[in-house]
Structure 1
Amino acid sequence: MEENMPENTCCVCGEPGVHSLGGRWFCERHHQTATRERRGAWRSNLGLILALVVFVGLVYAVDSFVQPAFTPSTLLLTGVLLAIVPALIWLGVFYQQDRLEPEPKGFVLGVFLLGALLAAAVGIPLVENVFRVSDWLYADTLTTILGGILVVGFAQEFLKYAAVRYSMYNSAEFDESTDGVVYATAAGLGYATVLNVMFVVQNGGVDLGLGVIRMAVVALAQAGFAGITGYFLGRAKFEHESIWWMPLGITLAAVANGLFNWVRGEVTRGGVSLSGGAANPWSGLILAAVVAFICLGAVSWLIHRNVKSALAAK
């Protein structure tokens, strides 16, 4: 009987464990947390996808019909502000949906900032200055795919993993599998924000309509791939998994990252020759929204299935 095994301690708080789930022991409180339905996090991710598409449409319409005039400095400032909007949208929707089962705001924001810091201090310099991918990544299809996975994909996904693994992972606030996705998504959006800000700064500003589409694509993609890593993090903490479990998760996220960027390039360039041969950025946005929806939806379903299976096996 579980109650007769005081030597087993809760994997979250270290208190005596009274329930076993997925090979891990939980106290009464954290067992209830680990087996509850966590709908707020998934609604916030769906809300991010929908809100970003609406936001992009509004900005694109303003740019097309109002055609605001910018000085170089105001164009740069506007671009930087637009770069942080996807993260603000997600945080706003997340806190609204998560109010009945809240994560500490400071911790979520902290992981977001850590993801941004790792992107600025390690990820972007590594990819651009050490590997110098801009010099060779688009030489041919095979190089684009392999470089996108082995260099860009692994660099980005490992750093998003590290932002969670070496901050919140061992915290008592990380008390259910879904938290892996929540914190990884925050790290992914932090990473995406820096990518977008750097793009704006390096170009001295961006075209308002086209720029906001690119920013939304980057945010959706980074959040979706981070969700994959977050799922593996949640399983790793609350279930006994093999030593290859987390490397597999990071690899899957990196492969999805690299393949997405290649497909996005093909769709954006080739799928739009109907409009006079010009690239169609909307194709990339639609692709990113679909990919994010599939990634985050699949992760949600997997966590739900795993919890039900573990409870049924008791």
Structure 2
Amino acid sequence: MGFTAMLIAAVLPAIILLIYIYNKDKVQPEPTKWLVKGFLFGVISAFASTLISSPLGWLGFYTTGEAATFREAVSVAFFGAAIPEEAAKLLMLWLLLRKNPYFDEKIDGVVYAACVGMGFAAIENVMYLSTYYSTWVTVGLTRALISVPGHFMFAIAMGYYYSLGYWGG
């Protein structure tokens, strides 16, 4: 199987989940242009997260080498991945919605956050599958079942609470 099949496998899980969440916004569906913009902001957030995680590593918040202990593994998971990734996605969500005229109902925060999260997940998948090209089918299947749905659920929670904060309880 070739590089094109790998790219499709990397992006398809994110697209499937985007279609699912898009179909939940039945009253005033968001314009495609803004959904694509949200997805692209998610792609950008993957690169922006390294601007957050790298300094945290340099400052000693986590070990930059192989994690030898449970404490090191936890510190890498939080300071090297979770916190920088979610902070970058939140920043991109805020940039996307601050002047978006179509952000006009509570469900919109969830839809746009899902777009950002799936853009992040898609490019992260491309990077992982490219890195592990010899085993991309196994890595792709594992990430499609665990990582992409994880990013999706985190995005839903982020969008829900973003909307709650913006529109009130």
Q: What's the TM-score bracket when you normalise by the shorter of the two chains?
A: 0.7 to 0.9
Aligned-residue offset at 1:110: 0.8
Unaligned segments of structure 1, at least 5 residues:
1-69, 240-305, 307-314
Structure 1 CA distance, aligned partners of 2:22 and 2:164?
A: 24
Q: Structure 1 residue 195 and structure 2 residue 124: aligned?
A: yes
Q: Structure 1 residue 80 and structure 2 residue 7: aligned?
A: yes
User: Is the 8 Å Cα contact of residues 111 and 164 (structure 1) preserved in structure 2?
Assistant: yes
**Which of 91, 103, 107 is the aligned partner of 2:18?**
91
Match of 2:156 in 1: 227
Structure 2 CA distance, aligned partners of 1:88 and 1:185?
A: 10
Higher relative contact order (CA 8 A, sep 6+): 2
Aligned-residue offset at 1:83: 0.5
Structure 2 CA distance, aligned partners of 1:115 and 1:214?
A: 17
TM-score, structure 1 normalization:
0.47
Match of 1:113 in 2: 40
Match of 1:238 in 2: 167
Give the secondary-structure state (helix, strand or coil) at the position aligned to 1:206: helix
Match of 1:123 in 2: 49
Aligned-residue offset at 1:186: 1.1
Structure 1 CA distance, aligned partners of 2:35 and 2:88?
A: 16
**Identity percentage of aligned residues:** 23
**Whose helix proportion is higher, 1 or 2?**
2
- Residue type at the aligned position of 2:49: G
Structure 1 CA distance, aligned partners of 2:7 and 2:81?
A: 23
Number of residue pairs aligned between Structure 1 and Structure 2: 166
Larger Rg: 1
- Which residues of 2 match residues 35-114 of structure 1 at below 5 A? 70=1, 74=2, 76-114=3-41
Q: Structure 1 residue 186 and structure 2 residue 112: aligned?
A: no
Unaligned segments of structure 2, at least 5 residues:
none
TM-score, structure 2 normalization:
0.82
Q: Structure 1, residues 102-152: CA drift from partner, whole Å, max 9, x if none? A: 111111121111111221x32246546983878436321122223322331
